[in-house]
Structures are given as C-alpha cells and as structure tokens.
Amino acid sequence: MHTLTRFRKEEGGAAMVEAAISMTLLLILTLGFVDFGYAWYQWNAATKAVEIGARMASISTPIVPEIAAAGIATTPGDPIPVGNYDYTCNGATNTCSCVGTGCVPIVTVPDFSKIFRGDATGIGTCPPLAAGQRPGMCHFFPMLQPANVIVRYSATGLGYQTRPGGSVPTITVSLQGVTFQFFFLGALLGFSNITMPSMLSTVTGEDQKSTWP
C-alpha cells in the first residue's frame, strides 16, 4: 500500500505526457489550418472555372450544333418566346436533353472541349496552353473533370426567327460531384468525402460560332 501511494504521487515523466498530448492537438490544429486554406483555394478556383466556362460558352459554338437552330418561330421576325427551349448538357452522361416546343432533337454527341480545355489542343485532359491560346475551365481548376460540368442553354425571350446564328440563349455553367481534397484531415478525421457546394455562372450568349477572331 505504501508503494502504491508513493507511485500515485510520483510526477516523473508528467511533462513528457503533457507535451505529447499538447503536440498532438497542436499538430492537428496546424494541419487543419493548412487543409482548410487549401480547401478555400479550391473553392475560389472552382468559382473562377465556372465563370470562365460560362464566358467560353457564350462566345463558342454550342456544345451540340442543333442548339443553334432551337427556338424556331412560326413567323419570320417573331421573337423567340421565353421558355421555348431549355437544353441541359451533362458531362457525366455526355448527353443533352431539352424541354420546350422549340427544341431541336439532339443527334450529335456533346463536345465539352472548347469550354473545358479552351484553345488547348495537346494530349491529356487539360493540355498546357501555347502562346496566344485562351484558357478553359481546367486551367483554373486542374482537379476538374468533364464529368463535373453541366451546361444549360435556355430561351429567355432574346433573339428572333431569321436572326443570323439563331436565338440568343441564356447560358448557365455549373459543377456537380466535386469533392474537396484534404491531404491531412482526410486521413486523420475522414474529411475526404465532403462535397463542394453547387456553384454556377450565368451569362447571355454572344457571337456563338465555330471560330474566334
């Protein structure tokens, strides 16, 4: 009993135990700041990517050429009615669907390359840009994949029948299925499955054609 009482009062090694506990908590806190800082960068990069994607879509040939003929009115010169067509092109399924009386059936496989890769024509998902080439979404957010991209073309009452180039769609680019990448917290605390909140950018179509000046 005397030995047990003396053992309970012994303080040798207490500093080492306290230091081990403190260092563990401090390490997790430090790595947490690093990981959340990187997550903030990913959020900003994804936001910029959808802005660039919407801009690219507004000045490029539609993902499928049939969209350019959508919104046909019965009388030449009539405005294209609001809601006359609404195309949604999904990179995950590589398909486009449409609702509305002005829809033109899609028979072409969607091509996301101009929006996703910009002018880059090299090998790989996101080839490096040559001098003078315009960047795509992947150049602002390298972790992005075409399957993460949704592009929507909808009629909002702009443009008219017989207008060169068709009606003027409202274009929305958004992301789906993007998860934050945590290097440290993902392994320590299981943060690797946090999905990035949905984000989108909407613009009005401009000179949508196959070549740029």
213 within a domain of the structure (yes/no)? no
211 within a domain of the structure (yes/no)? no
Q: Kindly report, residue by residue over 148-195, the tens digit of the pLDDT.
A: 999 999 988 877 666 666 678 899 999 999 988 887 776 666 666 788
Structural domain including 181 reads 2-204
What CA–CA distance (Å, rounded) separates 63 from 89? Answer: 8
Global pTM? Answer: 0.80
Structural domains in the chain (count): 1
What CA–CA distance (Å, rounded) separates 153 from 78? Answer: 20
Q: Which of 68, 49, 81, 71 is nearest to 149 (CA)?
A: 49
97 within a domain of the structure (yes/no)? yes
Q: Which of 91, 95, 84 is nearest to 116 (CA)?
A: 91
Say if residues 86 and 157 touch (Cβ distance below 8 Å).
no
Range with the lowest mean pLDDT among 44-48, 140-144, 163-167, 197-201? 163-167
210 within a domain of the structure (yes/no)? no
Say if residues 58 and 203 touch (Cβ distance below 8 Å).
yes
209 within a domain of the structure (yes/no)? no
What CA–CA distance (Å, rounded) separates 106 from 183? Answer: 42
57 within a domain of the structure (yes/no)? yes
212 within a domain of the structure (yes/no)? no
91 within a domain of the structure (yes/no)? yes
